[in-house]
Structure 1
Amino acid sequence: MQLTGAEIVIECLKEQGVDTVFGYPGGSILNVYDELYKHSDEITHILTSHEQGAAHAADGYARATGKVGVCFATSGPGATNLVTGIATACMDSIPLVAITCNVGVSLLGKDSFQEIDITGITMPITKHNFIVKDVKNLAETIRKAFVIAQKGRPGPVLVDIPKDVTANKAEYKKQEIAPVTASKDICEAEIESALKIISKSRKPYIFVGGGAVLADASEELYEFVKKVDAPVTDSLMGKGAFPGTDPLYTGMLGMHGTKTSNYGVSECDLLIVIGARFSDRVTGNAKKFAKNARILQFDVDAAEMNKNVLITDGVVGDIKVALGMINRRLEEQSHPEWIEKIMAYKEQYPLKYHEEGLTGPFVVEEIYRQTEGDAVIVTEVGQHQMWAAQFYKFTKPRTFLTSGGLGTMGYGLGASLGAKVGMPDKTVVNIAGDGCFRMNMNEIATAARYNIPIIQVVVNNHVLGMVRQWQNLFYGKRYSATVLNDSVDFVKLAEALGATGVRAATKEEFKSAFASALTLGRPVVIDCQIDSDEKVWPMVAPGAAISEAFDEKDLEERSN
């Protein structure tokens, strides 16, 4: 049948099982929005306050559900406002399809009103992108976009459609879309080599990254850990892939990882890396990282092998498939002396914080207690992000959503909206610093408009906390442009935007405020007043090895 380009867009989204789109309309995408209006009973559209919020919401929806997130934007500034959200998804390998519309084909390249080369702009931050200049190619291109976004290592794909293409007609035939499945093509020799190196190890350590979450490999990972009999650490992106309550779990690795994990990885004889990319925030000084160990890396992306850290062996392929193959052949290992040593580290170096007054770690622990560990926790970027990673015990994948690679301030609020829309039966909490909250706090209006009952916790220290921490430790306490000494009132702001606002300055006030927020069934902003000089511990100084992690007690001893 003959359909317009706009009709084809909507029909293709329906083919893919898309039930929610986040976006913001404008002139160039008007035909698509007009068609979307006719299908509002099949596809829900969430009008965000800003296109960046739409991209982050699509990202959060994808992370929480495992489906492809979809966002819409018009040409020019509408499209460029998606860029930060697309880059965030790209760095963390999140499947997202962004559909933008541009000026008509005849107006391209003429500096027309609201014209922008969005495919050129997003080429470095997408897995692939397209501009569709002929309506006959539109359906095929959208279908390709969804496959590319999901296949292998996931990522964002952008499809740009000139306005006249959305009005032109072409023959459309509905297709039944087969789900994108993991490739089982894994080199047998790599599996055999992995089995040998694991069997020879006496002090193995397992490091879990976001790839284990994206591959839905939690069950295989758990069986693998028990068979290898090794302690487990993770990255920000890997949280929840292995239960944070398991005795073998030793906390996060890297700049703000636990001393147990940092020391253990530095002393192990085999580091088994499951879907992690050796970020500089994890490795510290890469030349000194795991210097006593052979490194065995599992990753779906061959480009990650030997990219940041030289490895000994690697298995390229889908992690769920690869671990399944290993588990079927690996005999159970036993390393009692090694495990005993790591458990002694856990007892010797627990995560601690000041007990007096309201603090960031207390806020996170109280959220954990009241949600009984069964919530989707979203964060912005900074101190609060590290406290959330340290003090909330994640036991399931897709329950910790954070910008790990790009470190995007302003990510969390939009992402929490997407997560709650995708997982309406889950409690969704966005933890933000006051600096991050300011970035996209306009999305509280979106939450209020649709009555999306997210709980927004602002850890308000009236400074840019993580930057100030660096200034305090490494820049002679010169607090250049990091003090937020103004009169912004987040409680009044929340109320003005249609949400409930509460201020908490004590532990009891926060306990009460959060307990109430869990029952209200509407968006709530809790403004938590904490000290400006509270810090995240432990810490690894820039350029240092992770084995040189230090905490407040170490700092005091050095200064005496």
Structure 2
Amino acid sequence: MSNLMSGAKMLLECLVREGVDCFFGYPGGVTLPLYDAMYDHHIRHVLVRHEENACFAAEGYARATGKVGVCCATSGPGATNLITRLVDSLMDSIPIVAITGQVTSKLIGSDAFQEADTFGITRSCTKHNFMVKNVADLPQIVHEAFYIASSGRPGPVLVDIPKDVFQAQGHYTPVTSIHLPGYKVFTEGHTGQIKRAAQMIWDAERPWVYAGGGIIAAGASAELREFAELVDAPVVCTLMGLGGMPAMHPNFVSMPGMHGSYAANMGMSNCDVMIALGVRFDDRVTGRLSAFAPHAKVIHVDIDPAEVGKNRTPDLPIVGDVKRVLEKLNKLLTEMAPLRKAKRAAERQAWWSQVR
């Protein structure tokens, strides 16, 4: 059943339907219809003192809850004040939906008061962005924004809404399906590649696990621990991956890179097979790429196809959700374990004595 309501109220209904219980923002002229609509709505709004802090708070909310963080800013300077934090959430793969107000549709492109090309400015610092041109499109766009922000490699999505769309009346019908041609999320990983990875790992004498923020984003900490114990491999976690492996676990070494430990960096330099899980081979970890892990065959698992091979060409690429890939790898490795246990024990003892 549809209900006639303003675009502002429609937006609030959409947020509630997406599971939003609070959002962060700072009001301005073109977003006042949204703030007026909040008087009749139970959704919680946290008032900040600067738009950048709204986006920063949304990042923290997303990290702490695992849900999509939501922030709101007005047009022009309000929207541009979000940019730094949008870039941060894009680089750190944090799911955020940023809602920005825009001048009325008929004034777009006229250099109106507090007008900025928010849509153009944010193309490079968001996973995707939208401009709502008709109130009837609002529910579908909001639903797509949340789906894109939270699926695949998480990231920020911006929805730019002109003031007249906030004020326009329309029939709200909840969106129950989604169809995004050209947007496909690879989660399972290629079965053949995963089998090849299991063989490479068991054949390795000096395996090494290089885990990043993808472990945290995928909720794959338990699978990582099981994998490390099955293979008896040293594990290092990047800054974004810290917490993915308990610091007191016997297989955990430390953080790698320029701020990491000697043991972590020397181990990475001397391994023969590196299992890279949800990492981007950041320069703060690798240093000079040509000298990074020079003897290692690299297995790179990442949900974002653009990351695989971007900085270091892997010997075995696997595009998929690291949690699902590790589940399959662990199953294969468990089946192989009885055949390899004795040989592996001697190899690992020698490797661990070198690492420690």
TM-score scaled to structure 1, two decimals?
0.59
* Per-residue deviation, 1:242: 0.9
* Per-residue deviation, 1:341: 4.6
Question: Contact conserved, 1:94 with 1:156, CA < 8 A, in 2?
Answer: yes
Structure 2 counterpart of 1:12, which letter? Answer: C
After TM superposition, list the pairs within 5 Å mapping 1:272-351 onto structure 2.
Answer: 272-330=275-333, 331-332=336-337, 334-339=344-349, 341-342=351-352, 345-346=355-356
Structure 2 counterpart of 1:117, which letter? Answer: D
Give the one of 229, 240, 243 matched to 1:237: 240
Residue segments in structure 1 that go unaligned for 5+ positions in a row = 347-560
User: What is aligned with 1:8?
Assistant: 10
User: What is aligned with 2:20?
Assistant: 18
TM-score scaled to structure 2, two decimals?
0.92
After TM superposition, list the pairs within 5 Å mapping 1:61-100 onto structure 2.
Answer: 61-100=61-100
After TM superposition, list the pairs within 5 Å mapping 1:23-422 onto structure 2.
Answer: 23-39=25-41, 41=42, 43-175=43-175, 184-330=187-333, 331-332=336-337, 334-339=344-349, 341-342=351-352, 345-346=355-356
Structure 2 counterpart of 1:79, which letter? Answer: A
Q: Distance in 2 between matches of 1:335 and 1:36?
A: 63
Structure 1 counterpart of 2:168, which letter? Answer: N
Q: Taking structure 1 as reference, are residues 339 and 231 closer, same or farther at Cα in structure 2, changes over 3 Å only?
A: farther
Which deviations, in whole Å up to 9, do the C-alpha atoms of 1:25-77 show, x marking residues without a partner?
Answer: 010101111112321x3x21111121111101100110111100000000011
Q: Distance in 1 between matches of 2:346 and 2:80?
A: 55
Question: Contact conserved, 2:31 with 2:101, CA < 8 A, in 1?
Answer: yes
Residue segments in structure 2 that go unaligned for 5+ positions in a row = 179-184
Structure 2 counterpart of 1:32, which letter? Answer: L
Question: Contact conserved, 2:62 with 2:68, CA < 8 A, in 1?
Answer: yes
* Per-residue deviation, 1:185: 3.7
Q: Distance in 2 between matches of 1:279 and 1:54?
A: 28
Structure 2 counterpart of 1:298, which letter? Answer: V
Question: Contact conserved, 1:206 with 1:271, CA < 8 A, in 2?
Answer: yes
Q: Distance in 2 between matches of 1:147 and 1:67?
A: 11
Question: Contact conserved, 1:51 with 1:73, CA < 8 A, in 2?
Answer: yes
Specify the SS of the correspondent of 1:12.
helix
Which deviations, in whole Å up to 9, do the C-alpha atoms of 1:441-489 show, x marking residues without a partner?
Answer: xxxxxxxxxxxxxxxxxxxxxxxxxxxxxxxxxxxxxxxxxxxxxxxxx
Structure 2 counterpart of 1:29, which letter? Answer: T
Which deviations, in whole Å up to 9, do the C-alpha atoms of 1:284-337 show, x marking residues without a partner?
Answer: 110000001100111101111111012110111111111111111113353455
Which deviations, in whole Å up to 9, do the C-alpha atoms of 1:129-187 show, x marking residues without a partner?
Answer: 00111111111101100000011111100000000000011111134689xxx865421
Q: Taking structure 1 as reference, are residues 264 and 341 closer, same or farther at Cα in structure 2, changes over 3 Å only?
A: same
Structure 2 counterpart of 1:33, which letter? Answer: Y
Question: Contact conserved, 2:187 with 2:303, CA < 8 A, in 1?
Answer: no
Q: Taking structure 1 as reference, are residues 14 and 177 closer, same or farther at Cα in structure 2, changes over 3 Å only?
A: farther
Q: Distance in 1 between matches of 2:355 and 2:142?
A: 52
Which deviations, in whole Å up to 9, do the C-alpha atoms of 1:248-277 show, x marking residues without a partner?
Answer: 111001011100000001001001001000
Question: Contact conserved, 1:15 with 1:176, CA < 8 A, in 2?
Answer: no
* Per-residue deviation, 1:193: 1.2
Structure 1 counterpart of 2:79, which letter? Answer: A
Q: Distance in 2 between matches of 1:129 and 1:262?
A: 39
Question: Contact conserved, 1:202 with 1:335, CA < 8 A, in 2?
Answer: no
Q: Distance in 1 between matches of 2:152 and 2:268?
A: 28
Give the alignment's Cα RMSD to 1 decimal: 1.7
Question: Contact conserved, 1:221 with 1:323, CA < 8 A, in 2?
Answer: yes
Q: Distance in 1 between matches of 2:8 and 2:227?
A: 48
Specify the SS of the correspondent of 2:306.
helix
Q: Distance in 2 between matches of 1:184 and 1:239?
A: 23
Question: Contact conserved, 2:205 with 2:351, CA < 8 A, in 1?
Answer: no
Q: Distance in 2 between matches of 1:100 and 1:247?
A: 48
Q: Distance in 2 between matches of 1:220 and 1:93?
A: 20
Q: Distance in 1 between matches of 2:214 and 2:354?
A: 29
Q: Distance in 2 between matches of 1:244 and 1:20?
A: 33
Specify the SS of the correspondent of 2:109.
coil
Specify the SS of the correspondent of 2:313.
coil
Runs of 4+ in 1 over 2 A off after TM superposition: 174-178, 182-186, 331-346
Structure 1 counterpart of 2:26, which letter? Answer: Y
Q: Distance in 2 between matches of 1:301 and 1:223?
A: 23
Question: Contact conserved, 1:15 with 1:175, CA < 8 A, in 2?
Answer: no
Q: Distance in 1 between matches of 2:154 and 2:249?
A: 29
Question: Contact conserved, 2:302 with 2:320, CA < 8 A, in 1?
Answer: yes
Aligned length: 342
Specify the SS of the correspondent of 1:152.
coil
